[in-house]
A and B are shown apart, each in its own frame.
Chain A
Amino acid sequence: MPAHTVGSSPAVGAAGTPAFDPARCWRLHPQVAVRPESFGALLYHFGTRKLSFLKNRVILSVVETLADHPDANSALGAAGVSDADKAPYLDALGVLAASNMLVCNDIEEIR
């Protein structure tokens, strides 16, 4: 089974820590399918053919509700992630954004 993005991040199965701006509005890429699982969820991007793993239900809830919030910080707060616990979630969202699983609404509006 191909798994392109497996690594050491605590909340998502992908490596690397690119910058992620939680003050912007994000949403799932329209070609990404989310399959909830007991451990979290599987994400598959039909465009890039990449598979990613969400390793708990909290990050799943954040990812699924991103588009309902004006920015990622607000989505994290609504999912019950406190500021002290934010770091691994921002890291995970950054990994998802870097692999194009998440897209930034703000940037698209500028375009």
Chain B
Amino acid sequence: MTATHGLIEKFERGLDAPICLTWELTYACNLACVHCLSSSGKRDPRELSTAQCKAIIDELERMQVFYVNIGGGEPTVRPDFWELVDYATDHHVGVKFSTNGVRITPGVAARLAASDYVDVQISLDGATAEVNDAVRGAGSFDMAVRALENLAAAGFSDAKISVVVTRHNVGQLDDFKALADRYGATLRITRLRPSGRGADVWDELHPAAAQQVQLYDWLVAHGERVLTGDSFFHLSGLGAPGALAGLNMCGAGRVVCLIDPVGDVYACPFAIHDRFLAGNVLSDGGFDNVWKHSALFNELREPQSAGACGSCGHYDACRGGCMAAKFFTGLPLDGPDPECVVGHGVPALAAERDKPRPRVDHSRTVMLTLSRPPERPCNESPI
């Protein structure tokens, strides 16, 4: 592991270009998931034009950014979505895009199956319609499964099923794996962040302490066959170094970042807030300039203070956890993660907290509210 540690130290000091980045193409979305980390719903009138998006892709090609994770909002509702996907792959920028499946018709699936450079991630937050739709809205489970069926029928191999782990679906990990296997897909599970509308439901939805251990054990048992986007590094202190697959470091502003639909560049997809805003691709001289010269990113590339975690034996493993998770739960950035594996988050969460509100909110006015799935069918009131 020493060799890998050396590499992580290099990465923490930042690279000249991101390895990959998340690019949210629109704030428009047909769904209104309760935990949406970009508070999406309505399109922003300032969203980047097709030409502006292509200029960013040209820049990413010059910087040799290997691929972009395209999201939103629901990116496929942009009329120029497929044009931009083709433009990126033609310019040696690979594309992975996240979708709720709304536009993955048999025709689109056939088109995707013909490309070697596009990955599709279908979002699903329950292995059953009951658990999924409580978070993502009525009908969203069927829509996602239809997309998976269309992709499989078209011969698209290795789609990803992208799951945000919650208190209600953490017990379904084997079912998600079975679902993925059924469609020749790969399971990808990521951490629930208290970002965007997620701030409003995090207390109710985030996995409980015992479930975190259950999740960790499941991840270690399933190793590299399950993708995580390196999202559970805050749990790495639960076992031996290296037991959890991946680099297990926070890459925010160092090896990854986010470009939002209006061209604002944030440290990571879970940090849409002025505190983590590095600049704008239109007004600050292009993406390359923002990446290399923003004061925020250069600050993130300096050695970080362990703060209150300095005396903890697990600090080398978790590095204090996720910056965005701390920030949006109102915890100090140089203290423990709210889901700290030795329990330091619990008293911090119990204390008086001032949760920062995002400036950016594109939610529609009529929103889905979180409905708790019944423990058993008979627990649901028939009235």
CA A31 – CA B1 in complex, angstroms? 29
Contacts known (A1-B20, A46-B117); A8 close to B255, Cβ less than 8 A? no
Whether A55 is near chain B, meaning CB under 8 Å from some CB there, is yes
Which of A7, A8, A35, A47: most chain B Cβ within 10 A? A35
Q: Which secondary structure dominates where chain A touches chain B?
A: loop
Quick check: B251 and A1 within 8 Å, CB to CB? yes
Quick check: A33 and B66 within 8 Å, CB to CB? yes
Quick check: B4 and A51 within 8 Å, CB to CB? no
* Minimum distance in angstroms from A59 CB to a CB of chain B: 12
Whether A64 is near chain B, meaning CB under 8 Å from some CB there, is no
Contacts known (A1-B19, A1-B20, A9-B3); A35 close to B66, Cβ less than 8 A? yes
Quick check: A3 and B246 within 8 Å, CB to CB? yes
CA A105 – CA B17 in complex, angstroms? 32
Quick check: A13 and B94 within 8 Å, CB to CB? no
Nearest A-chain residue to B158, judged by Cβ: A49
CA A105 – CA B92 in complex, angstroms? 24
Quick check: A46 and B10 within 8 Å, CB to CB? no
Q: Mark A27-62, 1 if CB is under 8 A from B, else 0.
A: 000010101011100101011010101010000000
Whether A19 is near chain B, meaning CB under 8 Å from some CB there, is no
Q: Mark B1-29, 1 if CB is under 8 A from A, else 0.
A: 10110110010000111011000000000
Quick check: A49 and B94 within 8 Å, CB to CB? yes
Whether B67 is near chain A, meaning CB under 8 Å from some CB there, is yes
Quick check: B92 and A2 within 8 Å, CB to CB? no
Which residue of B1, B96, B230 is within 8 Å of A3 (Cβ)?
B230
Count of chain A residues with a beta carbon within 8 Å of a chain B beta carbon: 24
Query: For residue A3, which residues in chain B have a CB less than 8 angstroms away from its CB?
Result: 230, 246-247
Which residue of B17, B117, B227 is within 8 Å of A2 (Cβ)?
B227
Quick check: A7 and B4 within 8 Å, CB to CB? yes
Query: For residue B256, which residues in chain A have a CB less than 8 angstroms away from its CB?
Result: 1
Quick check: A6 and B66 within 8 Å, CB to CB? no
CA A31 – CA B255 in complex, angstroms? 22
Whether A86 is near chain B, meaning CB under 8 Å from some CB there, is no
CA A45 – CA B113 in complex, angstroms? 18
Query: For residue B20, which residues in chain A have a CB less than 8 angstroms away from its CB?
Result: 1
Nearest B-chain residue to A88, judged by Cβ: B3
Quick check: A10 and B247 within 8 Å, CB to CB? no
Q: Mark B51-64, 1 if CB is under 8 A from A, else 0.
A: 00000000000001
Quick check: A53 and B246 within 8 Å, CB to CB? no
Whether B116 is near chain A, meaning CB under 8 Å from some CB there, is yes
Which residue of A10, A13, A39, A51 is within 8 Å of B66 (Cβ)?
A51
Query: For residue A47, which residues in chain B have a CB less than 8 angstroms away from its CB?
Result: 116
Contacts known (A6-B247, A44-B66, A47-B116); A1 close to B6, Cβ less than 8 A? no
Interfacial residues of chain B within 91-134, with CB under 8 A of chain A in the complex = 92, 94, 96, 116-117, 119
Query: For residue B139, which residues in chain A have a CB less than 8 angstroms away from its CB?
Result: none
11 inter-chain pairs at a CB distance below 8 angstroms, sorted by A residue, are A1-B19, A1-B251, A1-B256, A2-B228, A2-B229, A3-B247, A33-B92, A37-B15, A44-B67, A49-B94, A49-B119
